[in-house]
Amino acid sequence: DGGITQSPKYLFRKEGQNVTLSCEQNLNHDAMYWYRQDPGQGLRLIYYSQIVNDFQKGDIAEGYSVSREKKESFPLTVTSAQKNPTAFYLCASSIQGGRHNEQFFGPGTRLTVL
Amino acid sequence: GENVEQHPSTLSVQEGDSAVIKCTYSDSASNYFPWYKQELGKGPQLIIDIRSNVGEKKDQRIAVTLNKTAKHFSLHITETQPEDSAVYFCAAIRTGTASKLTFGTGTRLQVTL
């Protein structure tokens, strides 16, 4: 099956710890994205990558870091510098330059800081 | 940058009635408008989209209309069913560039029996 997978589904972190969220896609998409979703709010873009070894900050990049060493993978690290990390995190991918830039989303990871 | 506003934030309809969700956008260069449905605990799924050269698009019980002059677009769901209950997001983007999808804040639709 082709698609986007995120792991883990639920993640708990103690304050002061860094944590990495996994995102893998086998759609052969060039572009990948990380969004944060808070209750009652829309999706806010954290980081995006249009090609391997390149990525750009989104609207709320502070306290987060990413890497794009492989086309299929775009892990997100939530660092201790992120003041309010408890949220639902969504990864997405799209064909770069493809029709309408349609984005396909993964199932999400719910991060809770204890 | 683009700004997308979405209304209402919550919507409750009886099964069989119609539901309408409205969005406005600010960037007149935006030319692609997708709608996503998000069920509880899951990622958003694309349900319908429209390009700026089209005024209306239908797919069974779902339709989207676009008014470029007024810069607003709407999602229409007819003959609603309980499985339509979810959060719906509109979005806008100018395709062909490195622009990012800008999402509305979502509408929680509840279809009651």
pLDDT tens track for B55-113: 999 999 999 999 999 999 999 999 999 999 999 999 998 876 666 889 999 999 999 99
Are residues B103 and A58, on separate chains, in Cβ contact within 8 Å? Answer: no
A64 near A85, Cβ under 8 Å?
A: no
B14-52 tens-digit pLDDT: 999 999 999 999 999 999 999 999 999 899 999 999 998
The rounded distance, in Å, linking the Cα atoms of A54 and B41 is 30
The rounded distance, in Å, linking the Cα atoms of B27 and B69 is 11
Are residues A100 and B101, on separate chains, in Cβ contact within 8 Å? Answer: no
Q: How far apart are the first and last CA of chain B?
A: 41
Are residues B100 and A45, on separate chains, in Cβ contact within 8 Å? Answer: yes
**Counting Cβ atoms within 10 Å, is residue B91 exposed (0-12), middle (13-18) or buried (19+)?**
buried
Question: Closest to B93 (Cβ–Cβ): which among A48, A101, A104?
Answer: A101
Tell me, yes or no, if B53 comes closer than 8 A to chain A by beta carbon: no
Beta strands in B1-113 (DSSP E): 4-7, 10-14, 19-25, 32-38, 45-51, 56-59, 62-67, 72-77, 86-92, 102-103, 107-112
**Using a CB-CB distance cutoff of 8 angstroms, which residues of chain A are in contact with residue B105?**
40-42
Closest alpha carbon within chain B to A33: B100
**Using a CB-CB distance cutoff of 8 angstroms, which residues of chain B are in contact with residue A90?**
43-44
Are residues A107 and B42, on separate chains, in Cβ contact within 8 Å? Answer: yes
B43 near B94, Cβ under 8 Å?
A: no
B48 near B59, Cβ under 8 Å?
A: yes
C-alpha distances in angstroms, A24 versus A32, A36, A108, B7? 10, 17, 12, 33
**Using a CB-CB distance cutoff of 8 angstroms, which residues of chain B are in contact with residue A104?**
46
How far apart are the CA of B42 and the nearest CA of chain A, in angstroms?
A: 5
- What are the residues whose beta carbons fall under 8 Å from the beta carbon of B60, sequence distance 6 or more? none
A39-69 tens-digit pLDDT: 878 899 999 998 899 999 999 999 999 999 9
DSSP class of B25? E
